[in-house]
A and B are shown apart, each in its own frame.
Chain A
Amino acid sequence: MADYSAKEKKMTKLFPLNMLLFIATTLFALSSISTTLHATDAPPLTIFFSNNVQGETEACG
């Protein structure tokens, strides 16, 4: 009968590393997608503008 225990141990040891790699890659991919979406869905620039106020603060009466 094949001895799987050593292999199992190795797998168990490796699993967390694989998992970490997988999570990191996924997060990276998701963040890239999110950045892309953010760039295209960026809210517009709002410019408030005025001119020739000429010292008017409020109506007289």
Chain B
Amino acid sequence: MGGLSKKSFQIHSLIEQGKNNQLRLDAGNLLFKRPVIAKGPGQEKLTAATIMQAYKKLHYDAVGVGPFDLSAGVQFLQNVPVKGFPWISANVFDKEGKPLFRRWKNRTINGVNIAITALTGAANTIPQDIQISSWDLVLPGLLEEMKSLPDNSFIILLSTLPAEENRLIAEKHPRINLILEADLHQRNSIPKQVNRTLFTQTEKQGKYQGILEILFGDERMWRQDGKKKLAELQNKLGSLNWQLRRLEKSAVAADKKEQYSNSIKRLQNEKLTLTKTIDSLTREVADEQAAGTKEDQYEFRFIALQKNMPNDPAIEVLLKKLNQQIRQLHKRPIAPGQHSQATKQQLSTANLVGYAVCRECHTAQFKFWQQSAHAKAYTTLVNKEKNFNLECLPCHITEDLYNSTPKTTDNRAMLSLPVTLLSVGCESCHGPGKRHSANPEQFQMTARPQEEICLRCHTEDHDDNFIYDTKILKISCTKE
């Protein structure tokens, strides 16, 4: 699920529908998923450069600098061959206190001036030549600068700060109208309001495209959705009426009527209060309608970028080129003797024997496995020309998941594996087979892997539909 090409198709299809008053914004942490990445020209940098090219093609208006965007250093962002990339950050400075990125920008849409700024969240590891200032130091000055803008300006903040800090910002600086968040602990987060500020964000890793449609009124205040609230109250009244009728019926039939009278009285009081609230809200909604639109209104959508969605051919060309670049970069696999000790330990192939050895005794199980998706995992990558991609490989080969540490993309040992490990083989689920193959009686294999072994690859990020109890039955081999 997800992908730049599907995202691009969605955006373009909406432009074709005539929606030309648009802003394309990304709140940050666009390029990398780790605070530190490999030095030199690696896969991650090639991928980052491609993403920037795709965003340029999509005419992004602003992209907040997230702490992970700084993983390859500021110079990478400045020197990458994508000129004029719309990075924004109000709180990233060099050691002399000079801003390293544009601090804010503005555009006028539908007669409303829109100012966009961004705040970069703190990180444990940041390049030595930069400093990230706290929001309470930079925001007052920045908002002061924005006073030169018309009074009814709409201010958008792109933020990679934690959600709690964004709420504090909203309480302290009500002039900010919208915060597009990038909190790593939040998923699709429907718009919520604190004070005068609206917040929202999407799921990570580009699986969803967030869309917010704003109808500007005369004032920079979010309109409370009176109609929606009215509908909720009317539903509640309906439910109260039903309860009352039921109780009244029971009271008529019952011998001891007094046992119902208290409940009936309580519900009647509730009904009276609710009816008064509904009357008053109905008048408010009618007045609002008569007066016309005064406050800003919004609607939102999160579009899931599903596998079966169409792709944008122009972006597909870029991604194909990226695959070729990665292939070129990794085409010369390292000879097994050249692996560093650390790499060997990370990959933990030393105790693996490969499916050919398992097949010698477990023929029926091998045949069953051959029909499974696990057996075809590597072929899937070959078909998509991603078999040199170090981000994809770990979950498409046989690894010692019982002992290995989480993989890193430095791990080039994956590029020189024997063919019997180029699939999610028997040992991925049952554990390394070296000792068992030498002495089957003494060393037993794990018959049924624990959920945590499966979750090494079937993570929420990669497999939304993974339910251990169902999937384990599907993949369980034939009994001996």
Cβ-defined contact, A51 with B33, below 8 A: no
Interface string of B13-40 (1 = CB under 8 A from A): 0100011111111111111110000000
| CA A54 to CA B391, docked complex, whole Å | 12
Partner of A43, one of B3, B19, B26, B293: B19
* Chain A contact residue count (CB 8 A cutoff): 22
Interface: A40 (CB within 8 A): yes
- A39 adjacent to chain B (CB < 8 Å): yes
Which residues from A are CB-within-8-Å of B44? 55
Query: For A54, what are the chain B residues with a Cβ–Cβ distance below 8 Å?
Result: 29-33, 68, 204-205
- Residue A16 at the chain B interface, CB threshold 8 Å: no
Give B450 Cβ to nearest chain A Cβ, in Å. 24
Q: Mark A39-61, 1 if CB is under 8 A from B, else 0.
A: 11011111111111111111111
Chain B residues in 8 Å Cβ range of A57? 3-4, 47, 50-51, 54, 319, 322
B212 and chain A: residue at smallest CB distance: A47
Nearest Cβ in chain B — how far from A5, in angstroms? 55
Interface contact A53-B23, CB-CB below 8 Å: no
Contacts of B299 in A (CB 8 A): 44
The answer on a CB contact under 8 Å between B23 and A48 is yes
Q: Which of B25, B111, B114 contacts A48 (CB 8 A)?
A: B25
Is B91 an interface position by the 8 A CB rule? no
Q: Mark B391-418, 1 if CB is under 8 A from A, else 0.
A: 1100110000000000000000000000
**Which residue in chain A gives the minimum CB-CB distance to B208?**
A50
Which residue of chain A has its CB nearest to the CB of B18? A43
CB neighbours (8 Å) of A45 from chain B are 21-23, 109-110, 112, 114, 213-216
- Inter-subunit contact B205/A51 (CB<8 Å): no
Q: Do B19 and A39 touch (CB < 8 A)?
A: no
Q: Decide: A51 near B29, CB < 8 A? Known: A40-B292, A43-B19.
A: yes
Shortest CB-to-CB span from A8 to chain B, Å, is 50
Chain A residues positioned under 8 Å from B11 (CB to CB): 48
Q: Which residues of A contact B5 (CB under 8 A)?
A: 58
Which of chain A's residues has its CB closest to B37's CB? A55
Provide the residues of chain B in CB contact with A39, threshold 8 Å.
111
Which residues of chain B from 29 to 72 have a CB within 8 Å of any chain A CB?
29-33, 44, 47-48, 50-51, 54, 66, 68
Residues on the A chain within 8 Å of B211, using CB: 46-49
Which of B134-142, B180-188, B282-290 contacts its partner? B180-188
State which of B75-83, B252-260, B329-337, B381-389 sits at the interface with chain A.
B381-389
Nearest CB to that of B107 among chain A residues?
A: A45
Residues of B within 8 A of A (CB): 1-5, 7, 11, 14, 18-33, 44, 47-48, 50-51, 54, 66, 68, 109-112, 114, 156, 160, 178, 180-182, 184, 200-202, 204-206, 208-216, 292-293, 299, 307, 319, 322, 377, 380-381, 384, 386, 389, 391-392, 395-396, 462
Known: A46-B212, A47-B211, A59-B2. 5 other contacts (CB 8 A): A49-B202, A53-B31, A55-B33, A55-B44, A55-B48
* Chain A residues within CB distance 8 Å of chain B: 39-40, 42-61
